[in-house]
Structure 1
Amino acid sequence: MDGIDPVQPSLNSSYVPTALGNHNVSDDEENEDQSPSASLLPKHSSVPLAVRYSPEDSYCLVYIIFFLMGIGSLLPWNFFITAKHYWLYKLSNNTHHSGGEEERSDLSDYFESYLAIASTVPSVLCLILNYVLVNRLSSNVRILWSLFVILLVFVVTTVLVKVDVSDCRMEFFAGTLACVAVVSGASNLFSGSVFGISGHFPMRISQALISGQAMGGTLSAVASIVDLAVAEDVTDSALAYFLTADVFILLCIFTYLLLPKLAYSRHYMLAAASTSPGGNSEGGAATGTGNGVSAPPLQRILRKTWVLGLSVFYVFCVSIMVFPAVSSGIQSVNKDSGSIWTTTYFVPLTSFLLYNVADFCGRQATAWLQVPGPTSQVLPILVVCRSAMIPLFMFCNYQPRDHLHTVLFAHDVYPVIFNCLLGLTNGYLGTLPMIYGPKVVPRELAEATGVVMSFFLTLGLAVGSAFSALIVHSI
């Protein structure tokens, strides 16, 4: 795996191989030209040094805002896939009785696979669009419009919770997939734009964004479990569940509008605007609108980041192959005992909650430990080794089994271990190349590189989701 550029990629001044703390003069700005605002000042400026260095991130507000943006970027996907009991109820053959056992149907059996495909294919197209627009359309416009579209789709989904669809399940199924396609495209346009902006900040901000994405999954899993425990009716539980998502999307809109008002973020956004091809932009936009500005140089970016991009691609490709389509179908071997643990809470806890908590821990670990480095050959080797997770999940107690009848891991502890391992490696090995990518290119290409890395991630999800459907049908 020695496909790294023969010339070692020079890390831009935002990269420091250890976690960055919250201090007035950050490690990535200690050299003469490393403050983003330095390019705005004469080389021998008599301005005091304190002015040339970045202001303090007071109360870690910028870190928290990007953390919330990370939660919001994957919140739509997580809220759709985690509401498994609700979709089973809506797509079953006896939705007239909310308290009854759902009867098996093709729609409910393969819903997660269809959901994964519907969410990832349009996401790839939207990220290509995002790359084309990165120098043509303000990040403010891309981010805010994406959030408003996500909010609109979730409001529609919330309203449909209380609508009886027992006589039009196929239409509801198609409409749901259409909503997933729209909201996934919008959320990827949002996440790609936000991650591109974070490339102009120190690495701690990129890490906050990626950790927030994992926390989004954890929060959705917790919300699902709480709703199951509190609400007596499936629709009441789903109503509270999706209303939670509506409120959080509104919170994301509010906090993003707050971002340019903070001195710390304005400092880096101003520097980004001065170095971007689109020129200066007002307010919080990190890129200019730039009439007639061409797309960023893709070949130049890929020459520096293609190994990191392929690593991101394969990490998320393997993860989506088994989560959630396979992992959420693994049932307790003691399900026939009738206990509430094995019938109601086993899948939400072992599949969704444990995976997302482990994923969050893996992403958060990159704040303190960043090995292997961006030029190491060990990173892609570790990524390829995750292929072993696929057969491990296939031979757990996945039900129903129509073709592959052998169950090698016939104990409830196995899916617990495998989900934790899948989430931990996904978080750590997926985060490292994502935060390395924008730091191994010149500063003016940081945002475009962030979009490219997001494209590799989403492409991995799209390819993996197609294979997940084949895996589910083969079992």
Structure 2
Amino acid sequence: MKGRTDAPRDRGWLVGVIFFILGLGTLLPWNFFMTASMYFNRRLNKTERSNGTVVSHKEYYFNNWMTLLSQLPLLLCTLLNSFFYQRISEMVRIAGSLVFIFILFILTAILVKIPMEEDRFFSVTMATIWFINCQHWIIQRSSLNFWRDSLTSPFSFVCVCGCVCVVVVVCGCGCVCVTGDTDPETAALGYFITPCVGTLITLLSYLLLPRLEFAQFYLDKSRSYEVETANELLKESGTAENGKLYGHDNGSLANGGASGEEVEVKGAGVSPKQAFLTLEQAEVRDRKSTVMEVFKKIWVMAFCVVFVFTVTLAVFPAVTVDVKTIYPGKWEPYFISVCCFLIFNVCDWIGRTVTTLVQWPPKESCLFPGLVVSRVVFVPLLMFCNVQSRSYLPVLFSHDAAFAFIMMLFSLSNGYCVCLSMSYAPQLVTPKDAETAGALMTFFLALGLSIGAALSFLLRLLV
């Protein structure tokens, strides 16, 4: 975009604050449910005694089902978003999804105070997780172009910072709720009211943004730029078609049949061998590659992104959330929030950020797939941590520091490898096929998340 010297000022950096809130709000649903696993497991796995004997209850594997049902909607919502992209406006899609998430979080908060049989509570919670994550992925897919194109890069960076800070907010909220003598039910109620307020603030911020003079200026510039670009492309396309029909497009036809017509290319620096291009060659040059042709070029990166997320989701959070501290007492309620969720999200962000400075191994190197495959070592390492309860494997890394260190390396490598895979893929194809490559990588990203979530059931049983 050009000609933005007449832009109004962002008074009080209000647009920047709103973008921070939008980044924060879009990741609230997944993080709040993921870090509330202690509440759900406590409610589903109640210990009762009958005549002095402990009555065993059905194991619900809440963490595994939560992970699976959180990731499966990605593929479905990517397809739905592609279908509804031209039929439903971006504002309706994003605002409608935020309203739906707000209603579902209110329902979750109300259920805290309503006694319910375990099977029914499990079914309602799983349905809530499914629908909340459907709306979450719709927001993510709908807002990609908005974050990328609407405003200048500093605001995109602020939005990313909001996404990173969400885990700090969630972990801080969880720590506050378990502090003091508050009973678990009241703490859970306060915990789920927080995302209700956060989602409402995000919705109001999103509706306010287009009404601000500064944001409106860039939104209008973005739309006019898109229209101008589309008109130029249509004009060029029309000129090219006319050249084919009338036999001239900055050149002339020379001695050709219907299928062997040649276009004379005039201009400085054109060699005699390049002076004539058949129309068929020109069409082949401008034609987009098929999906299979693009896949053959990026299949290594597709494998890498699938493998990275398969390894990550196989153990996080289904296995890692059950790791116990060796220091029971005041530290115990904060252990998982800090050593599992906080460390993972912060180090994952650091790993992604490092790729802006260092991109090694290069995309052509066989070392990169080897680096990705080597992450499989984290699966046994985390399974050998102090995961409770366990049936088969011994505990080799019982200390809290060992678990925290493994989580740091695990999350750093996750962010680094994912970011490189997603950025390398479009570089392996021509610019006209970059969009197809990005769509394919999104599909394989969803595939990796789903495979990893499904594999987590088996790995948790093997511990």
Cα pair 1:117 1:466 within 8 Å, conserved: yes
1:153 Cα offset (Å): 0.9
1:461 Cα offset (Å): 1.6
| 2:410 aligned with 1:422 | yes
Distance 1:129 1:229 in 2: 42
| 2:426 aligned with 1:472 | no
Cα pair 1:131 1:448 within 8 Å, conserved: no
Cα pair 1:395 1:407 within 8 Å, conserved: yes
Q: 1:115 to 1:244 in 2, by over 3 A?
A: same
Q: What residue in structure 2 maps to residue 241 of structure 1?
A: 191
Quote the sequence identity (%): 33
Q: What residue in structure 1 maps to residue 285 of structure 2?
A: none
| 2:380 aligned with 1:391 | yes
Q: 1:50 to 1:235 in 2, by over 3 A?
A: closer
1:103 Cα offset (Å): 9.0
Moved more, 172-181 or 148-157: 148-157
Cα pair 2:47 2:56 within 8 Å, conserved: no
Q: Which residue of 339, 360, 373 maps to 2:329?
A: 339
| 2:303 aligned with 1:313 | no
Moved more, 152-161 or 218-227: 218-227
Give the unaligned 5+ runs of structure 1: 1-34, 38-48, 97-101, 280-295
Q: Counterpart of 1:259 in structure 2: which amino acid?
A: L
Q: 1:273 to 1:104 in 2, by over 3 A?
A: farther
1:123 Cα offset (Å): 2.7
| Cα shift readout 1:263-295 (whole Å, capped 9, x = no counterpart) | 334433543465579x9xxxxxxxxxxxxxxxx
Q: Counterpart of 1:127 in structure 2: which amino acid?
A: T
Q: 1:95 to 1:421 in 2, by over 3 A?
A: farther
Q: Counterpart of 2:127 in structure 1: which amino acid?
A: A
1:115 Cα offset (Å): 0.8
- Where in structure 2 are the equivalents of 1:62-461 lying within 5 Å? 64-94=17-47, 105-107=57-59, 110-165=61-116, 168-200=117-149, 208-230=158-180, 232-260=182-210, 261=212, 262=215, 263-272=217-226, 299=291, 307-334=300-327, 338-341=328-331, 343-366=332-355, 369=357, 371-372=359-360, 375=363, 377=365, 379-404=368-393, 406-434=394-422, 453-461=441-449
| Cα shift readout 1:343-383 (whole Å, capped 9, x = no counterpart) | 422222211222222223334445x5252498454554433
Cα pair 2:175 2:333 within 8 Å, conserved: no
Q: TM-score, normalised by structure 2?
A: 0.73
| Cα shift readout 1:370-410 (whole Å, capped 9, x = no counterpart) | 52498454554433332221111011111111122x22223
Determine which structure has more spread, i.e. the larger CA radius of gyration.
2
Cα pair 1:130 1:451 within 8 Å, conserved: no
Distance 1:439 1:197 in 2: 23
Give the unaligned 5+ runs of structure 2: 234-287
Cα pair 1:203 1:435 within 8 Å, conserved: no
Q: Name the SS of the counterpart of 2:179 in structure 1.
A: helix
Q: Counterpart of 1:415 in structure 2: which amino acid?
A: F
Q: 1:218 to 1:439 in 2, by over 3 A?
A: farther
Cα pair 1:150 1:186 within 8 Å, conserved: yes
Q: Name the SS of the counterpart of 1:340 in structure 2.
A: coil
1:81 Cα offset (Å): 1.1
